[in-house]
Structure formats: structure tokens, C-alpha cells
Structure 1
Amino acid sequence: MNKKNIFERLTSGEVIPMDDPDYGVIREMVNRTKKLSNQLNRADHVDDIRSILGEIIGKKVDDSTTLFTPFYTNIGINITLGNNVFINHACSFLDLGGIEIKDDVMIGPRVNITSENHPTEIATRKSMVPGKVLIEENVWIGAGATILPGVRIGRNSVVAAGALVNKNVPPNTVVGGIPAKILKKLN
């Protein structure tokens, strides 16, 4: 029998209760990522930033990708970055459920992308409910936007500053507001 590790279980959408015997592995990974994030946020050279970000996510970061610090994440290994990605300062990526960012994406300052949530029921509220976030090619996410778990943002779309995206965004659209609604179609 091939038992999935807790991160594979999360990225496959399994709800994980706090008393899960493997939950301690998440805490260990959070501590590892906090230490690396402190190094990342003190780095001042673009090559050092890319290198440390690569350690955090467990993958090489392409030279065409730019990250302005500070940057925050809780796990890191469930983040996948395409080429020519730009991430502005003070962004927060909670990636237990997985965050995939395709090529040519621009992310404004103070954007929050979260792929994890908790049940509203009191008895199970401390459980982790994952939901992968997928940001397709050539998307622009404006300053201060929040992307919630399970959302897919279609290619060539724009998320307006301050938007709260809780549903999928079709390709070639502009969305904005709380919650985000389609404002217009793009050619």
C-alpha cells in the first residue's frame, strides 16, 4: 500500500483534522519556511532572492522571475512558479492546498493568495480544508487583492485592486469588487 504524505493529501483536497498523526510534519515545515523567509526578506540582491525562494519552494526559480520582498508563505513547497512572473512587495501565499502560477503573471503589492481554509462548524473548525489556486498565463492581479482557496483565474484576465476573488474567473475578463464580479470582457 502506497500511503500519501500529508502534503500530497492536502494538495489532493483531503481535509486534515488537527489531531491527524501527521500534522506535526506541517509544523516542522512551517518552522523551516519561517527561517528561510527571514533570510529571503533580508536579502538585497536579486540572485540571492531567487536562490532562497527556490529553497523555499523546492524548485529552481527562473531568471526571468522577479520577487520584491518582503514575501510571506507558510509552507512554500506547494508553490509552482512559471517563467517571467513578477511578484511585488508584501505578498502572502498560504500554499498548503497548492498554488500554481503560470508564465507571464504580474502580482501587485499586498496580494494574498490562500489555498487553505477551515470549516465553519465549531467542532471541526481547526481542521485544514485545502483548495488549489491556479493562476493561468498572462494574468495581472492588482494591489491588495485576495484570492481564496479553489479559485482558477483564466488566462489574460485582470483582477482589480482590492478585489476578493472567491469564484473562478473566466479567461479574458476583468473582475473587481467584494466579492469579485465580471466588469468587462477583454479582446
Structure 2
Amino acid sequence: MEITMEKFLDELNSGRTVVAGSELHLYMQKLSQEALKITAELNGGYHSEDEVRDLFSRLIGRPVDESFGLFPPFYTDCGKNLRIGKHVFINSGCRFQDQGGITLGDGVLIGHNVIMATLNHSEQPEERANLHPAPIHIGRNVWIGASATILPGVTIGDGAIVGAGAVVTRDVPENMIAAGVPAKILRPIK
């Protein structure tokens, strides 16, 4: 079976396990090399806003809206499973592991050094290299504070706020504030 980008994304978005050493896993490693090359260019010097958008569009394989903003450096080991809405801003130092899929709704603000991880490993030592993808969905007008970590399978509802340094292991309902390690719902937005 020949792996194409469409087949790759379909498999990862299905949530099925990616077996270490499989054709799919090898294709993932090939995409990682491409992402490393593009992010090295993005992070290697000053670029105008238009140049940043062009490089980011190459990274994700589709154009971002002219309202998209990013302050490098930015890191990902895939890029092809990112969906970015309008008026999204990503601050410097963020790391997105997007193989399992990351969707950022319109108006999302991402603070410095935020990590989004969509892959997990098997618990059993003999299967530990296998990967389990699970998507992250960030709703519209969400603000994620600096150095927060969002784990696989988490959905953050529209209008929510995630506090700086939070580790989000569970869904955050819309218009709620969550913070802490692990993150807990603190209160609704007033």
C-alpha cells in the first residue's frame, strides 16, 4: 500500500494506533524531516509578517488567512494536521505535535511556550514505541496562557481561558477559566 498525504491524515484522524516501523510510521518520519526543514527556515532569522504566513502555509500544506499572526520560533514535527482559523495569534516558543490533529478556531490567542501534544505511547514496554493519536480542538476566541500544556484528546470550548502553566488533561467547557496542574475548572467568565 502506497502512503499518500490523504491516506496518512485519514489514518491518523481515525485514532487507530500507528505501529512503530510500519509504512505509516516511516511516512510520518519523512514528514517530520520536511517540517524540521521548514521550521529551521522560519526560526533561522527575521521574516516579515507576509513571509511568516508564507512559510507557515508551506508547513501546514494550505494557506493561512492574512489575519494569522505568529512570532517565531515555532516548532512542530509534522505540520500537516493543523487547521487554523482566522485572527489566530501564536506567540513565540510554541511546540505543536499535530500528527493526531490540532484545530484552532477563529480568534484563538496562544501564549508563549505553549505545548500541544496529540500523540501518546502504549503503556506496555514491548509496545511502547507505538503511537496513539488523539485530536486537540480549541474553540473560537480561546485564550491559552503562557507555558500551558494541552494533552491528547482535549477539547477547549469557545471563549474559554486556560491559565499560564496549566496542564490540561480534560475538556474545558465553553466560557470557563481553567488553571493548575492538572487543570481544574475555576469559574465561569464574568
- After TM superposition, the score normalised by the length of structure 2 is 0.94
Tell me, yes or no, if the aligned pair for 2:15 and 2:133 is still in contact at 8 Å. yes
Q: Distance in 1 between matches of 2:78 and 2:24?
A: 15
Is 1:69 matched with 2:80?
no
Tell me, yes or no, if the aligned pair for 1:131 and 1:149 is still in contact at 8 Å. yes
Q: How many residues align?
A: 185
Q: Distance in 2 between matches of 1:67 and 1:22?
A: 30
1:154 aligns with 157
C-alpha RMSD over aligned residues:
1.2
User: What secondary structure does 2:80 align onto?
Assistant: coil
2:117 aligns with 114
- Percent identity between matched residues is 38
1:132-172 Cα shifts (integer Å, max 9, x gaps): 00000000000000000000000000000000001000001
1:5 Cα deviation after fit: 2.1
Q: Distance in 2 between matches of 1:19 and 1:84?
A: 39
Is 1:29 matched with 2:37?
no
Is 1:59 matched with 2:62?
yes
Is 1:105 matched with 2:96?
no
Q: Distance in 1 between matches of 2:105 and 2:24?
A: 30
Unaligned runs of 5+ in 2: none
Is 1:50 matched with 2:48?
no
Aligned partner letter, 1:21 = E
- After TM superposition, the score normalised by the length of structure 1 is 0.96
Aligned partner letter, 2:114 = V
Tell me, yes or no, if the aligned pair for 1:6 and 1:23 is still in contact at 8 Å. no
Q: Distance in 1 between matches of 2:8 and 2:86?
A: 28
1:128 Cα deviation after fit: 0.7
Unaligned runs of 5+ in 1: none
1:63 Cα deviation after fit: 1.0
Q: Distance in 2 between matches of 1:110 and 1:157?
A: 19
1:41 aligns with 43
Runs of 4+ in 1 over 6 A off after TM superposition: none
1:19 Cα deviation after fit: 2.7
Q: Distance in 1 between matches of 2:87 and 2:40?
A: 24
